[in-house]
Amino acid sequence: MDTRGLVDYHLHTELCGHARGGLEDYVGRALELGLAEVGFCDHFPLLHLKDPTLSMTVEDLPRYLREVEELRGRFSGMLEIRVGIEVDYLPETLQQVSEMLEGLTLDYVMGSVHFLDGWGFDDPRYVDGYRGRDIRALWERYFQLLGDAAESGKFDVMAHPDLIKKFGYRPSGEVSDIYRRCLDRLAEAGVVVEVNTAGLRKPVGEIYPAEEFLRMCLEREIPVTLGSDAHAPGEVGADFAAAAAMLRRVGYRELTVFRRRARSSIPLPS
C-alpha cells in the first residue's frame, strides 16, 4: 500500500527550536511520496512561558508565513502547499491568541492540548508528573480541555486528539464514556479531527487517536484530516499506509483539506 494522493497537514520547521531540516527538504520528501498536498503547521508562540525549544517567537511569525509562501510559489504546479499553525489551547491565553490569529493569513489552525493546568504532560522532561496521579482523572481533564478548545470556535482541527496516552499511561477499564462526552462536544462545535501518526514513534506506539475514538468520530460524522507531525524531513508521511488502512477500516472515505480557513474534501485513495 502506498501513500500517493494522501495529505500531510502537520509539518514542523526549525523555527520551533526542536525540529530540523529546511522547508524544501520536507517538500522534497512529500514529492517522493506522491502526496497530494502538504501543510506546514508549526508551533504558534507560547505566551504563558518563554522556552525557545518549544515554539517560534512572536517575531518569527511573519518570517514563517513568508517562507511558506515563497515555497508555495517555488513548487507551484508540483505540489499543493498550505500554511497552518499549531496553537496551544490554554484558557488563560485564549483571548490574546485569538486576537493575534485574526491578523494572520492562514489556511487552517490546529488546536492542541499540551498543557494540563500548567503541566506540559507530553514533554519527556516532565514525564515524572504522571507518577502517583489518578490517571482516569487526568484523562477526564485532558478530554474536557479538548472539548473546551473545540467550543472556543478558534480552531479548525483538533490535533492528535488523544495525546494524553503518549507515554502509555491509561486508565484501567473502559474509556468510552470519556470519549463520548468529548466527541459530542467536538461534533456540535463542528471541528475536524486529525489522525496523527506521531504516536507510533512514541512510547505508546499507537496512532492518535485510538481506533475506537475514530469509530466514534465517524458515528458523529466528524470529518478528519491526516498528519505525521514531522519534526524532520524523513518523517513526512511516516506510517501513512497504516493510518490510511485504519481510516478505511473504520469507514472513512474522505480527507478534509483547507484553503484560507475554508474546508473541502478529497477522496481517500483506495
CA–CA separation, 108 and 35 (whole Å): 18
Provide φ and ψ at 13, rounded to 5°: -140, 170
Using the contact rule CB under 5 A, the part of the chain among 21-29, 69-77, 82-90, 201-209 near Fe ion is 82-90
Residue 53 C-beta: closest distance to Zn ion, Å? 9
Find out whether 79 and 30 touch, Cβ atoms under 8 Å. Answer: yes
Query: CB of 113: closest distance to Zn ion in angstroms?
Result: 10
* Minimum CB distance to Zn ion, residue 93 (Å): 17
Q: Nearest residue by C-beta to Zn ion?
A: 229
Residue (185 or 231) nearer to Fe ion, CB = 231
Largest Cα separation within the chain, whole Å, is 54
Closest approach of Cβ 210 to Fe ion, in Å? 17
Closer to Fe ion at the Cβ: 13 or 112? 112
If the CB atoms of residues 53 and 172 are measured against Zn ion, the closer one turns out to be: 53
Q: What is the 3-state secondary structure (H, E, C) of 174-229?
A: CCHHHHHHHHHHHHHHCCEEEEEHHHHHCCCCCCECCHHHHHHHHHCCCCEEEECC
Nearest 5°: phi and psi at 143? -70, -25
Amino acid at 31: L
Amino acid identity of residue 138, one-letter, is L
Q: How far is the CB of 270 from Zn ion (least distance, A)?
A: 28
Angle formed at CA 171 by CA 170 and CA 174, multiple of 5 degrees: 115
- Mark 173-212 with x for binding to Zn ion (rule: CB under 5 A) and - for no binding: ----------------------------------------
State which of positions 13-52 bind Fe ion (CB under 5 A): none
Cβ proximity to Fe ion: between 112 and 256 the closer is 112
**What is the identity of the amino acid at 219?**
E
C-alpha R_g of the chain = 17
Q: Which amino acid is at 251?
A: G
Q: Which of 61, 66, 68 is nearest to 83 (CA)?
A: 68
Q: Which is nearer to Fe ion, 57 or 176 (CB)?
A: 57
Shortest distance (Å) from residue 63 CB to Zn ion: 18
Would you say 47 or 75 has its CB closer to Zn ion? 47
Choose from Zn ion, Fe ion, none: what does 235 bind? Cβ within 5-8 Å by kind: none
Using CB under 5 A, pick the residue from 229, 238, 239, 255 that binds Fe ion. Answer: 229
CA distances in angstroms from 268 to 8, 33, 54, 257, listed in the order given:
13, 15, 33, 11
Say how far apart CA 2 and CA 199 lie, in whole Å.
Answer: 20
In the window 84-123, what residues touch Fe ion (CB under 5 A)? 86, 112
Task: Report the site for Zn ion in 210-249 (rule: CB under 5 A).
Answer: 229
13 binds, among Fe ion, Zn ion, none (CB under 5 to 8 A by kind): none
Q: At closest approach, how far in Å is the CB of 139 from Fe ion?
A: 17
Interface with Fe ion (CB under 5 A): 86, 112, 229
